[in-house]
Chain A
Amino acid sequence: MFRWWVAWRFLVSEHKNNFLTTFLAIVGMALGVASLVVAMAVVSGYEGTLKKSVIDIFGHLIVVKSGPPIQDFEAFEEKIRDKVPGVQGITPFLYMEAILAHHKKLTGVVVQGVDPSSVGKVLNLHKHLVQGDFQWGVQNGIPVAFVGKGLQKKYQLKLGDVFRVVIPSSDPYNVEKLRPRVQVFRVGGVLNFGRHDFDSRTLVTNLFTVQKMAQMKGRFVGVRIKFEDERIVRKAAFLIEDLLGPSYWTKSWKQVNRNLFEAVKYEKVVIFLVVLIIVIAASFNISNALLVSVLRKYRDIGVLKSFGGSDRFILGIFARQGLLVGGLGAIMGVVLGLLACWGFLWAQQIWPLIPGEVYKIDHISVEIRMLDLSLILGVSLLICFLSVLAPARRGARLLAVEGLRYE
């Protein structure tokens, strides 16, 4: 504590002689750390939004059966709920690939069949519905489908429009002979999944309709599960695989979107390192301010050494002085960064800063994570510590007698 005390008194006395250099060093560090806080909060916000939207449309886990499809959903659900704890909801699904044919344009699409009675407990499609409302039934004899935003744009589809989907199935008696079937849908709504690949290929409709299209009445290929706590997903997947046997496989939302989240993680690291350059530059300011302080305190160093201060003692004092400057700057930077994040969120509510029609998102989410803040503070202080070592060593190596001679 004594060294911290001396370091603090030396630092406070700087206001008389070395104020501007020290002040600039603190401000530089604060700006660098604030930039890091904002950058990390934005990337974490993006990651969080992405994660939420993925879980909204995928659930936590899918369980798919290879070979013949599953028949009795109630029995299947009960089996899982009995053995796997923490299940919030289970919903069956069936999907098939088809071709959307409308206005002389063709697009390969995935027709997703969902069970209207249970889908709400697992997926959060409401949040992604940008037009229409969820009426899953049949309108004027035509089943309702919800199209991805990209498809709607491409085909200029409006609510109530009718379009055709071609299912390229084969002849039951001659598998080499194609016997395509056609299904007509009415646009019941438009879904914005927030991802181009989903928006441009997905059609969501009633499970019953897809079962009919695929000639799989009452059957489904798998279920989507949502858990009360996403941390148990991995453990639950093992339990389910053990429970159901080798003809079933599972995939978590993380596994399905691994590349995407890996890319975000990688981007986060790169952004952190790039913005960290500001902190490194700021640490040179601290190093410089400390060097000035050491030079001004030559005589005091001599006096401290005369009364028993060892080289390590002097090094400790000036390293602490530098760390105090860096620490003050870092704390101010965190506060400044948090204020900037808060101000940005507030400004987004008042003014449309991000035009949704230009960018894919109409607002930037900001997420402050304690882990990010701790990492920023830790790395900043480490850089600061390394940068103050050189001037502190210079002070420590000074011979007592040289310090006393210094005028």
Chain B
Amino acid sequence: MNERKVILKACGITKEFVHGKRRLEILRGLDLTLYKGDALCILGPSGAGKSTFLHILGGLDAPTVGHVEFYGENLSHKASDELALFRNRKVGFVFQSHYLLSEFTALENVMIPARIGGVSAAKARVRAERLLSYLGLNHRKTHYPSELSGGEQQRVAVARALIMEPELLLADEPTGNLDSENTQKIQDLFFQLQKEMDLTLLVVTHDEGFARRFPRRKVMQDGRWVNKL
């Protein structure tokens, strides 16, 4: 019997979009259980619904049918402000495009979630500097995103996702826009972080090589779990 604690549970997640008069079903009754400390990869082709599923798990979007529980607490029952607090404190996001704010330096970008969460500027700066040093970016902290390489941008995005010390790290194609060298580095970084920070990691990718490195894998196609591609 598995005694590990369930951190996240998705029950019967269905997502529909209405496009004109057409109803598009993107996700079709997906279930998922994620345990604390898990490293799970969701593999699937483009358009399978992986990103939509990830957004729903992270409280960025709501399912049409079904619900998500975080430590048994139903996210659908949370008000908008509570969901914002949940995203700030419990989850860290890394996106395919780094999505760093171009008006802010690397250090400031990393500080932003902490400042939103009410951490003082001084404390947020210390935390951000520590993370950037850890990721080998201390010398780039005053640079703006446009002055960083793709790999550096993504590492800054990882630091930003980690500043509030989330329990769950959700990454959407984190290496999708990187060259092979940076892809390798970022992949290694995820596993290193997962081990060192006791993170629960859920990565969405279409890169089979990356997926093979995960102890748990799920394959999605047309909004359903399938055994293999």
- Which A residues fall within an 8 A CB radius of B? 1-2, 9-10, 12-13, 299-300, 302-313, 399-401, 404
Stretch at the interface among B41-49, B65-73, B78-86, B125-133: B78-86
Q: Is the CB of A310 within 8 A of B55?
A: no
Q: List 24 A-B contacts (CB under 8 A).
A: A2-B121, A12-B103, A299-B99, A300-B101, A304-B101, A304-B116, A305-B84, A305-B87, A306-B58, A307-B88, A307-B113, A307-B116, A307-B164, A308-B87, A308-B116, A308-B117, A311-B84, A399-B61, A400-B55, A400-B61, A400-B87, A401-B61, A404-B55, A404-B60
| Chain B residues, CB < 8 A from A9 | 103-104
B95 at interface, CB cutoff 8 A: yes
Which of A310, A312, A404 contacts B99, CB < 8 Å? A404
Q: Are A311 and B101 in contact (CB under 8 A)?
A: no
Could you give, for residues 111-127 of chain B, a 1 whenever the CB lies within 8 Å of some chain A CB and a 0 otherwise? 01101110001000000
Nearest neighbor of A400 in chain B, beta-carbon distance: B60
Known: A2-B121, A308-B85, A399-B61. A303 touches B101 (CB 8 A): yes
Residue on A nearest B81 in the bound complex, by CB? A310
A312 to B104, CA, bound (A): 21
A305 to B60 Cα, complex, angstroms: 8
Q: Chain A residues near B112 (CB, 8 Å)? A: 304, 307
Q: Is the CB of A303 within 8 A of B99?
A: yes
Q: Enumerate chain A residues within 8 angstroms of B115, measured Cβ to Cβ.
A: 2
Instruction: List the A side residues contacting B113 at CB < 8 Å.
Output: 307-308
Residue total for B at the interface (Cβ-Cβ under 8 A): 26
Q: B102 on the interface (CB 8 Å rule)?
A: yes
Give the top 6 A-B pairs by smallest Cβ distance, nearest first: A308-B88, A310-B84, A307-B113, A13-B103, A401-B61, A9-B103
Contacts of A2 in B (CB 8 A): 115-116, 121
> Which residues of A are found within 8 Å of B99, using beta-carbon distances?
299, 302-303, 306, 404
- B89 within 8 Å of A by Cβ? yes
Residue in A closest to B90 when the chains form the complex, CB atoms: A308
CA distance A310 to B117 in the complex (A): 10
User: Which one of B58, B80, B88, B102 lies within 8 Å of A13 (CB-CB)?
Assistant: B102
B225 at interface by CB-CB < 8 Å: no
Partner of B84, one of A10, A302, A303, A308: A308
Cβ–Cβ contact B87 & A307, under 8 A:
yes
The distance in angstroms between the C-alpha atoms of A313 and B60, with both chains bound, is 16
Output the residue of B58, B60, B102, B121 with the most chain A CB within 10 A.
B60
Q: Which residues of A are found within 8 Å of B58, using beta-carbon distances?
A: 306
